[in-house]
Structure 1
Amino acid sequence: MSTETTSSQGIIQRQSRPWQRLARRYDIRRSRHRHLPWLGYTLTTINIVILAFLVFDTPLGQAAKNLSPRLIEVAGAVTDIGRLAWILAIIAVVFAVGLFVARRSPTYGRYRAALLIRMVAYVGLSVLTTSFIVNLLKYAIGRARPLLYDQYGIVGFAPFHGDFLFESFPSAHSANVGALFGALALLFPRFRLLFIGIGIWLGASRIIIGVHYPSDVAAGLALGAWIAFAVAVLFSRFGLVFSTGQDAWPRPRLNRGLR
């Protein structure tokens, strides 16, 4: 066998090893995979969005113009935290700082760096997947924003219109926030209530400034949180960042080894 052939085979083997390792990790955990009540969770979420649409959208659409200017100003100052660019910038900064700190540790630097990379990959994948899906939905549904409430009410739709004024449902800011803080709540369950509270308040800021209805925000937060949960379940299937708990929920394995 020629040297070139041997070298080529070695390169192919090295390239396939990560996928082979992932396949082995999945096979090892296959027996631990338990069924999650996805249908029940989905129906509950849909009902919450429908109730928000029926009960809260009209009153908020009518009252949005009468809110305190000071309240609107404060909400406007914090609402852009939900922008995809800001979230990705925050993720990048956390990654860079964490990697720098991890590499300063001679004993656990490599382990911490690898774990940090996987955590950032999980959060980033959750947010990017959410952003892609929510923007497709906004474009396809074409719901009129509260800014056009006097003309269309809460049932104004112009599918595939592509105009900012017809991209209300679901709220992309809320979806990004739901994915980010949903992922953080899963990674750090001790602070789960704090992250959920921050996410709800950031979503509510979209209602206060008058660019979304409550049902838009509820759908956006739910979509982002569900995608973060689904990605966590996927990671847990391979033992990456998460493991599968007795109740089939993904549990963070931040203090465990990477084997």
Structure 2
Amino acid sequence: MGTETTSPPGTTIQRQLRPWQRLARRYDVRRSRHGRLPWLAYTLTATNIVILAFLVFDTPLGQAVKNLSPRLIAVAGAVTDIGRLASILAAIAVVFAVSLSVIRRRSPAHRRYRTAHLIRIVAYVSLSVVSTSIIVNLLKDAIGRARPLLYDQYGILGFEPFHGGFLFQSFPSAHSANVGALFVALALLFPRFRLLFVSVGLWLGASRIIIGVHYPSDVAAGLALGAWIAFAVAILFSRFGLVFSTGRDGWPRPRLNHGLR
């Protein structure tokens, strides 16, 4: 007589579930584990920073931007396009290709795990940046704030909603929003280097002010929006156990060195 092998009931059920059903079960399990996140505190803080920048810094910088050092403007102009969506996606594609070539040198089992995890990380960063870009461009068109280039005609209160065109797309800064999403995503993935990533993001945002195409409040709003979206997407991924796990305090914790479960 042959011997029968049995599997734990949970294993059989797990195998019968479709991928999206397994993800849904992961979400349900993790949904009750997280603590309350300070969304309201973050929103109030970011809003107050934007308002203060608007009231205190926009006018003097709007008046002074034409008198900045040409050398400083040249340096800022050389780095500012890092915040373009196309530039960020191209950089992500290059990093993905290089990482994939390195992974292929590993053993088959190790390669399979690393490739899957790399794809999820790229998906997280890309989703954060692309979502931010879509939202910020809809907002800036709807708000229609005149750029500092038109300060003499409009001042800081020049708003023409749905005007369209480059000169009326100042608030929020799309470059700054993309940068905020990218570098906060990297800070969440690699917390050891979070101060470096945040510092680089702030300087890239400031480059939009230096070259005279955005007010400080535009940049502050863009950075805050991008940061918020990257954090929210990280929370979503952590609920499914993808890329991040959920800490006891509710914050996403990177799973860069852990198996996929």
**Pairwise same-fold verdict (TM > 0.5):** yes
The runs of at least 4 consecutive aligned structure 1 residues that moved more than 6 Å come to none
Listed one character per residue, the Cα deviations across residues 143-198 of structure 1 (whole Å, up to 9, x for unaligned) are 00000000000000010001100000000000000000010000000000000000
Listed one character per residue, the Cα deviations across residues 109-165 of structure 1 (whole Å, up to 9, x for unaligned) are 111111100000000000000000000000000000000000000000010001100
Q: Which runs of 5+ in 2 are unaligned?
A: 1-14
Offset of residue 30 of structure 1: 2.4
2:34–2:247 contact (8 Å) kept in structure 1: no
Identity among equivalent pairs (%): 84
Match among 192, 195, 202 for residue 194 of structure 2: 192
Separation in 2, partners of 1:85, 1:29: 35
Partner of 1:10: none
Match among 230, 241, 244 for residue 242 of structure 1: 244
1:85 matched to 2:86? The reply is yes
2:178–2:226 contact (8 Å) kept in structure 1: yes
Offset of residue 16 of structure 1: 7.0
Match runs of 1:165-180 below 5 Å = 165-180=167-182
Match among 177, 202, 227 for residue 225 of structure 1: 227
3-state secondary structure, aligned to 1:255: coil
TM-score, normalised to structure 2, is 0.92
Offset of residue 90 of structure 1: 0.4
Q: Which runs of 5+ in 1 are unaligned?
A: 1-13
CA RMSD of aligned residues (A): 1.3
Listed one character per residue, the Cα deviations across residues 42-63 of structure 1 (whole Å, up to 9, x for unaligned) are 0111000000000000010000
Match among 230, 251, 254 for residue 253 of structure 2: 251
The aligned amino acid for 1:146 is P
1:103–1:110 contact (8 Å) kept in structure 2: no
Listed one character per residue, the Cα deviations across residues 60-84 of structure 1 (whole Å, up to 9, x for unaligned) are 0000000000100010000000000
The number of residue pairs the alignment matches comes to 246
Separation in 2, partners of 1:135, 1:170: 8
Offset of residue 15 of structure 1: 11
Partner of 1:42: 43
Match runs of 1:96-115 below 5 Å = 96-106=97-107, 107-115=109-117
Offset of residue 18 of structure 1: 1.3
Partner of 1:146: 148
Separation in 2, partners of 1:20, 1:103: 30
The aligned amino acid for 1:232 is A
The aligned amino acid for 1:171 is S
1:64–1:210 contact (8 Å) kept in structure 2: yes
Separation in 1, partners of 2:234, 2:225: 14
Partner of 1:124: 126
3-state secondary structure, aligned to 2:253: strand
Separation in 2, partners of 1:146, 1:244: 42
2:170–2:218 contact (8 Å) kept in structure 1: yes
Partner of 2:23: 22
The aligned amino acid for 2:92 is I
Separation in 1, partners of 2:218, 2:236: 27
Separation in 1, partners of 2:60, 2:188: 34
